[in-house]
Amino acid sequence: MGFALHGALRDAGRARKPGGGRSSTGSATGSRRAEWWRRTLLSIQGGAAGASAGAGPSRRVCASRGRARSHVVLPEVGEHGRLAIDPSHNGGRIRQLARLEHYHCNVRRAAMKILALLEPAMLAQHTDAVITRLEDSCHCVRCEALETLGELEPATLARHANVVVAMLKDSDEYVRRDALVTLGKLHPATLAQYAHAVVAMLEDSGDEVRKWALEALGKLEPATLAQHADAVVAKLEDSECPVRSTALEMLGKLEPATLAQHVGAVFARLEDSDWRVCSEALETMGKLEPAALAQHAVAVVVRLEDAVWCLRRKAMTTLHQLDPAALAQHADAVVARLEDSSKSVRKCALETLGKLEPAALAQHANAVVACSEDSSLGARIAALRTLRKLPRFVTHGIDSKLLSDSLELDNLAAARGVQPEEVVTEQPERLVFAPDASSALRSRLLGRLAWYRCRLRLRVERLALYWYALPYRPSGPGHARDVEAWGQMNKRSRQI
């Protein structure tokens, strides 16, 4: 049989609480709703529910598509509305197509949902029937028809793209939205042919439509998207937060050189009233070239003091994209975040400091060493990882067990594709990462760092003295001037 009634039809008329007990209130309404759906589903089956009751469950279909597609559940149906279709059964498909003409919109909608479970190649044979439902009187059925078309292969969908584009003028906001979602499943080259129609939807009255129009534009190739960048930038002033956030996300898909042309508009969103938009602005700025980002680094540093910890972490992640020389100019602001109330921000700050040159990192190593006793396991591991980047003179021979174990831990975590903290949690014997285990490391490193900074200072003084004395070498201009001045002094003294 083409259709089989799954779920709990035997429980029809029984309304239960989420915990499984009977509800004393609303049971009559629940019973009527369950009974109505039972009769509707029997109608879909053509009165053959009795024949299917003892036939057992239907065969699973479309298992190769990555998710269980043996049944579809309408939100209004719940467990009483589980339907299945056997794609190998031609009679079931014929009966299903006939239900697309049913007088009740919920039946047509359910039939369309079940058709969407077919494999794309089989569904392509019935696209005409699906397209016919794009003119259905019920907007829900039109939405389902668009979603069903989205299940086609991109090459097949391209042949019907004009029909989908025409639905962008539908009177219902959700139909227009689903038309944009379906267009977004086209190949970028095909979608580019309809880019102007999608751009026009950026001025739609529905915020969901504007958002998904931006999403569709984001499927274009960067070079094609750049042609419509001005329209995307204009949406940064939209009244709805999700639209502004999506516009920033789409700008982040541009090439860095193209994005730099609009960095002023992105920079302005750092002052947005919604923290999610600010976060997306920081994410987008992080995709600039390091040299371009360095010009706006001060504005990013300001966000390190934000009250929302997510923004502080995102700002730290953005600073991490700077070149070591540019990052060194803001190292003090990064070091201040090592005492942040959020362990995630502290960890990110340690990772950012690890990008400094060894000599620059040594200037702030005391604060990093202190973090080796942090209460957060992730921060302690990040501190040890950063300490490994100090000059070899500082770390040579100092608690090599602790530093080498941290390197081994990083390699093991990278091989398994997990965070180092997960490896330590799974292997409690790695007590070397306990806070007390790094106390000896701290005292020895502090001594080495003090001597290292002293060496740096003496080296700088020696170089300064060398360059000061360089002109006064026998072959230098300073020496010649001094010899001439000395001769003139001797001549005047003889005249006296």
pLDDT digits (tens, 9 = 90+) for 36-56: 555 554 554 443 333 333 333
Report the DSSP beta bridge partners of residue 22.
Answer: 16
254 in Cβ contact with 225 (< 8 Å): yes
The predicted-structure confidence for 129-180, as pLDDT tens digits, reads as follows: 999 999 999 999 999 999 999 999 999 999 999 999 999 999 999 999 999 9
Residue 134 and residue 164: Cα distance in Å, rounded?
9
The CA-based dihedral angle spanning residues 215, 221, 222, 224, taken in that order and rounded to the nearest 10 degrees: -90
Q: How far is CA 315 from the centre of its chain?
A: 15
Kindly report the pTM of this predicted structure.
Answer: 0.69
Through-space distance between the first and last CA atoms of the chain, rounded to whole angstroms: 131
CA angle, corner 224, sides to 232 and 269, nearest 5? Answer: 25
How far from the centroid of its chain's Cα atoms is residue 268's Cα? 21
Please tell me what DSSP assigns to residue 5. Answer: E
Share of the chain above pLDDT 70, in %: 63
Residue 435 has what pLDDT? 46
Instruction: Express each pLDDT in 68-87 by its tens digit.
Output: 333 344 444 333 333 444 44
Average pLDDT, the chain: 76
Tens-place pLDDT, residues 440-469: 555 566 556 665 666 666 667 677 776 666
Give tens-digit pLDDT for 427-446: 544 444 444 445 555 556 65
Ranges of CATH 1.25.10.10 domains, the chain = 153-277
What tokens does 152 get?
A: 């086609």
The per-residue pLDDT for 102 is 84
pLDDT score recorded for residue 206: 95
pLDDT > 90 in the chain, percent = 47
368 pLDDT tier (thresholds 50, 70, 90): confident
- Cα 109-115-30 angle, rounded to 5 deg: 40
CB atoms within 10 A of CB 132: 12
Per-residue pLDDT for 261 more than 60?
yes
Regarding the domain delimited by 153-277, which CATH topology (the fold level of the hierarchy) does it fall under? Leucine-rich Repeat Variant (1.25.10)
Q: Is the pLDDT of residue 491 over 90?
A: no
